[in-house]
């Protein structure tokens, strides 16, 4: 009997025990995850029969993989999860998107040389591989033609101090975090937000796995509902949520003011008009996935049912922007404001019902109609505009468009817009164009078109999608500006600049080159002597010089003439450049004298080099002259106190070699 009672007690205890659940976050504790803290600390999870452990992100973690492999039951991720599901972890399922828009942006100090995304070229950018592969950041850069190899990527520290100290020029950040630090330190900053370029994606997506939904559907629904209630409470009671974070979840030691800034920023991103809090729209998932595909990040081209990405909401949770405003509104102000609005409304109703106002409105309407007709006529005659359907067929063109292209309206209407396409416009331009407008955003750019007569022309274009009442794209409209003359002038200026640079380079080369031999001249040799001497003084690195002279060269000129003498100097120059090392510097010192500067070379090795040169010349048969010899003097820097003494000693040794029988090297 006692054993039976014990078994019953153990069974009841096990049944009463809450289910152990772990939620893994994509970053450290902060207001970004306040709803989960509130649900845990105020008992929402416990009431749902769950014992939830909330774990901070570790830099070695892979949140999507850890949840997919059932290491943790739930996780929070960014829009990268769409790519993870498509490419790596097909079993993950989305529950809710806590923030309808992502706070991830590019952040820089306010600088004259960083006013646009194009200015990023050549700069240091602190961004992780995951972030640069992410759709919003990647698509924003792609839309502005910023290539990955045009800037230096630095592993992120997630510390805005690196931006302040100049360790990086740009860094990825959350609008809810790092800008507050810069603001507190009085540092002006610039934000490059993907939303401003038409790329607005979900953030902080709560997700689990198909296995969890299949095996414990009640736990999944209970956890989601309790989490949403936690978020509802957190946004309706921001001060209370912040106090919970400060007491139990402030691992980053954030101030109350920083958390308030974060909360207000994220609140603006969590709510959209006519969208229930946390809802995920499969159409929007498709748009994000389309962006990934156009960026060549999706491995499979198979058709995807995006409804299967989302676990359908059970229950009647309702929380939207209007509900939040009502819950947090100052009702005293609200009623005062209502009376004021009623007064204004009544005032205008009285005016509107007056017959005088009615007759005046009719007259104004006629005048306005006439003005609009005039404006439309001016637009048609002066603005190059066209419309196409979703398949690129032209449905409307203005008179100005016809003048620009050389076609009549009858020749253009119902034709594909590829009729005007030039093969000289890069494919990347059209790829970027369709990526932008098919996603429901405005594209701005430049490209070449071709006229009816076959001639090409440049246009600056603004192409916009046209929406129906259901906010679906039904057509496209373009405004074109002829910029052919501008492009011609730009091309001319580029060619002119290239030619100037080429001639400048040639002049610089002539300034340091001996005209006869093609070797360095005395000016260049003097510069190299000074450079090697300065290196010697700083690093104590020895160097040597060889001064050599053609023996009996005066007899060559007297016997064969100066023209043959010049040819001998040219041949001698060729022999010298063949025999020296790649690091040695050869130049014409004057007349028939040459100097060789040997960097990082002591006297012994310089002597060996000089002997090899002497022997090579001794056996060489010069045209019309025959065999010639040289004499040389060698000196190194360690044996001399100054540059002048170095050159003087080598010159003296050359003189000694000349007077001791020639065809000799002296050191």
Just list the catalytic residues: 592
d(CA 106, CA 175): 9
d(CA 107, CA 159): 12
d(CA 528, CA 520): 10
Q: Hunting for tokens 């439309």 — which residue is that?
A: 376
User: Sheet containing 665-666: which strands, arranged edge to edge?
Assistant: 585-590, 593-599, 543-550, 630-636, 665-666
Q: How far apart are the first and last CA of the chain?
A: 115
d(CA 291, CA 402): 34
Helix (H) / strand (E) element for 3: namely: helix 2-16
d(CA 583, CA 585): 7
C-alpha 52, offset from chain centre:
39
Torsion of the alpha carbons at 499, 500, 505 and 510, rounded to the nearest 10: 100
Cα atoms in the Cβ-side hemisphere of radius 13 Å centred on 34: 28
Q: Are 513 and 525 in contact (CB under 8 A)?
A: no
Q: Are 107 and 160 in contact (CB under 8 A)?
A: yes
- By CB neighbour count within 10 A (0-12 exposed, 13-18 middle, 19+ buried), where does 482 fall? middle
In sequence order, the β-bridge partners of residue 384 are 480
Q: Are 563 and 520 in contact (CB under 8 A)?
A: no
Mode of pairing for the β-strands spanning 74-77 and 104-109:
unpaired
Gyration radius of the chain over CA positions: 40
Torsion of the alpha carbons at 207, 208, 213 and 218, rounded to the nearest 10: -80
């Amino acid at each position: 009997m006692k054993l039976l009672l014990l078994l019953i007690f153990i069974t009841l205890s096990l049944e009463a025990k809450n289910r152990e659940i772990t939620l893994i976050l994509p970053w450290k504790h902060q207001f970004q995850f306040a709803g989960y803290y509130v649900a845990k600390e105020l008992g929402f999870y416990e009431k749902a029969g769950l014992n939830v452990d909330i774990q901070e992100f570790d830099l070695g973690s892979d949140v999507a993989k850890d949840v997919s492999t059932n290491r943790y039951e739930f996780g929070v991720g960014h829009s990268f999860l769409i790519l993870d599901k498509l490419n790596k972890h097909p079993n993950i399922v989305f529950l809710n998107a806590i923030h309808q828009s992502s706070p991830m942006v590019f952040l820089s100090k306010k600088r004259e040389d960083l006013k646009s995304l194009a200015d990023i070229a050549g700069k240091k950018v602190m961004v992780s591989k995951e972030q640069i592969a992410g759709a919003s950041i990647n698509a924003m850069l792609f839309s502005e033609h910023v290539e990955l190899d045009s800037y230096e990527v630095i592993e992120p520290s997630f510390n805005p101090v690196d931006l302040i100290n100049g360790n990086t020029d740009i860094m990825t950040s959350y609008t809810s975090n790092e800008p507050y630090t810069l603001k507190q330190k009085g540092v002006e900053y610039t934000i490059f937000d993907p939303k401003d370029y038409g790329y607005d994606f979900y953030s902080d997506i709560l997700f689990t796995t198909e296995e969890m939904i299949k095996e414990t559907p009640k736990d999944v629904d209970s956890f989601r509902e309790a989490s949403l209630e936690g978020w509802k409470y957190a946004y309706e009671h921001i001060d209370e949520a912040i106090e919970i974070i400060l007491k139990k979840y402030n691992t980053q030691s954030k101030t109350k003011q920083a958390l308030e800034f974060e909360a207000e920023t994220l609140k603006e991103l969590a709510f959209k008009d006519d969208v229930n809090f946390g809802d995920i729209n499969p159409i929007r998932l498709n748009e994000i996935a389309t962006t990934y595909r156009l960026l060549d990040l999706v491995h499979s081209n198979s058709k995807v049912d995006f409804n299967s990405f989302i676990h359908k909401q059970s229950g009647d949770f309702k929380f939207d922007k209007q509900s939040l405003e009502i819950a947090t509104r100052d009702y005293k102000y609200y009623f005062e404001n209502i009376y004021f609005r009623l007064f204004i409304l009544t005032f205008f109703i009285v005016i509107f019902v007056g017959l005088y106002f009615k007759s005046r409105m009719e007259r104004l309407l006629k005048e306005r109609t006439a003005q609009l007709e005039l404006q439309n006529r001016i637009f048609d005659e002066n603005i190059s505009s066209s419309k196409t359907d979703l398949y690129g067929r032209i449905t409307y063109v203005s008179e100005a468009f016809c003048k620009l292209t050389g076609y009549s309206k009858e020749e253009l209407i119902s034709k594909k817009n590829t009729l005007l396409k030039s093969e000289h416009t890069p494919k990347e331009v059209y790829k970027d164009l369709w990526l932008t407008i098919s996603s429901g955003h405005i594209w701005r750019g430049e490209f070449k078109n071709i006229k009816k007569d076959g001639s090409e022309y440049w246009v600056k274009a603004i192409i916009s999608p046209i929406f129906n009442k259901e906010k679906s794209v039904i057509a496209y409209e373009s405004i074109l500006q002829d910029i052919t003359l501008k492009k011609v002038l730009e091309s001319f200026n580029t060619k002119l600049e290239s030619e100037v640079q080429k001639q400048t380079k040639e002049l610089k080369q002539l300034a340091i080159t001996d005209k006869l031999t093609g070797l360095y001249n005395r000016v260049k040799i003097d510069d190299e002597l000074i450079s090697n001497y300065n290196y010697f003084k700083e690093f104590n690195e020895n160097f040597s010089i060889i001064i050599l002279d053609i023996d009996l060269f005066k007899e060559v000129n007297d016997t064969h003439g100066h023209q043959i003498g010049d040819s001998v100097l040219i041949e001698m120059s060729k022999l010298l450049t063949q025999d020296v090392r790649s690091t040695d510097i050869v130049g014409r010192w004057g007349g028939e004298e040459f100097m060789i500067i040997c960097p990082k070379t002591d006297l012994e090795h310089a002597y060996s080099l000089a002997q090899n040169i002497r022997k090579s010349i001794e056996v060489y048969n010069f045209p019309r002259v025959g065999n010639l010899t040289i004499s040389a003097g060698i000196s190194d820097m360690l044996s001399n106190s100054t540059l002048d003494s170095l050159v003087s000693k080598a010159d003296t040794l050359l003189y000694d070699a000349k007077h001791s029988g020639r065809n000799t090297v002296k050191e």
